[in-house]
Structure 1
Amino acid sequence: MTAAAPTAPDGGGYAAVLRQRVAPEWIDYNGHLSEAYYVLIFGFATDGLMERVGLGPDYRRETGRSLYTVEAHVRYLREVGEGSEVEVRTRVVAVGAKKVRLCHEMWLDGGLRATEELMALHVDQQTQSTVPFPEAVAERLAAAVGEAPDYAGRAIG
């Protein structure tokens, strides 16, 4: 199953919004979305943002460079059922020369269901080393930076 295309920012401080229907095979023995599939959907949202800023599949093929997630913190707040169409809102909260910090929020029926905060590095896949973003990509990411949500930067406690 593929992810829905990301939509334009909604003016609420989000860099991208993705809508995704929950597939039956993503449901666990408790009758709701299995934890791995929350992360899958958040991954689709990361892919959508990458596409929006110029780091999509064509960029990867042409340059051999991509974003690698090196750290993530997921919060599972409320259950999501089979067939639900969730909305993932993505915020860029910090950008460096070679890294970006994102926060994804999964919404359903007006309620926040899960969040993911992640750090990703821009990596040359051949050398496996970090490299600076191209100028145009860095500018798009910098323009997308918004306020970090209150849960960002928290440790597991």
Structure 2
Amino acid sequence: MSSPVVWREPVQDAWIDYNGHLSEPYYVLVMGHATDAVMAAVGLGPDHQAAHDASLYTVEAHVRYLDEIRGGTDLEVRSSVIGVTAKLLWIWHELWADGRLRATEEILGVHVQGGASAPFPAEVAARAQDLLVDPPAEASRSIRIAR
């Protein structure tokens, strides 16, 4: 089983809301930074982007806010590739703080080159396959209200 890609950063004071907790958009910001780390790990980092006019665009995301996070906390995002096709990368993020899982996000990204979807270069596809793990049971959930 592949090890997750890890991203760490501290909570910034400006990210704390009127309840004294990490504000909702900053969970996504931090996990966005973790997406950048996964992109670098598979070979889609800034050098690739500049050389090939290519990047990963998020086309779908699902966030679960599981627990609050207070200011002054160090955050760790553990990210895994849970699916890959010729053009798509499915990433699972787990946001941890103080040894507890606080949020998850799954994103589906499409490889884009020159403004249009394009297959991954062979070396990127190979690296993504090397990082591939089975999706967790929590992946692919949808929001529902019992009727």
TM surpasses 0.5? yes
Evaluate the alpha carbon distance shift between residue 14 and residue 35 of structure 1 in structure 2; reply closer, same or farther with a 3 A threshold: farther
RMSD: 1.0
CA positional deviation for 1:152: 0.1
Q: Corresponding residue for 1:36? A: 25
Once the two structures are aligned, what percentage of the paired residues are identical?
A: 50
CA distance in 1, matches of 2:16, 2:43: 33
Residue number among 9, 13, 17 corresponding to 1:20 in the alignment: 9
The alignment partner of 2:68 has SS state of coil
Cα offset, 1:147, TM superposition = 1.6
Partner residue in 2 for 1:153: 140
Give the one of 105, 108, 125 matched to 2:94: 105
**TM-score, length of structure 1 as denominator length:** 0.89
Matched residue of 1:51: which SS? helix
Q: In the alignment, residue 134 of structure 1 is paired with which amino acid? A: P
| Matched letter for residue 36 of structure 1 | P
Distance 1:52 1:141 in 2: 8
Match of 1:116 in 2: 105
Give, in angstroms, the shift of residue 70 of structure 1: 0.5
CA deviation digits over 1:20-51, x for unaligned, max 9? 10000001111110110000000000001111
Secondary structure at 2:125 match in 1: helix
- Give the superposition deviation at 1:120: 0.2
Matched, 1:85 2:71: no
Unmatched 5+ stretches in structure 2: none
> How many residues in Structure 1 have an aligned counterpart in Structure 2?
144
In the alignment, structure 1 segments of 5+ residues that lack a partner are: 1-10
Q: Contact 1:14 / 1:146 at 8 angstroms: preserved in 2?
A: no
Cα shift at 1:15: 3.2
Matched, 1:141 2:141: no
Kindly provide the CA deviation profile for residues 32-79 of structure 1, in whole angstroms up to 9, marking residues without a partner as x.
101100000000000011111110011111000000000000000000
| Superposition TM-score, scaled by structure 2 size | 0.94
* Distance in structure 2 (CA, Å) of the matches to 1:86 and 1:134: 32
Distance (whole Å) between structure 2 residues aligned to residue 84 and residue 53 of structure 1: 29
Instruction: Report runs of 4+ in structure 1 exceeding 3 Å deviation.
Output: none
Aligned counterpart in structure 1 of residue 57 of structure 2, from 65, 68, 71: 68
1 CA distance for matches of 2:20 and 2:96?
18
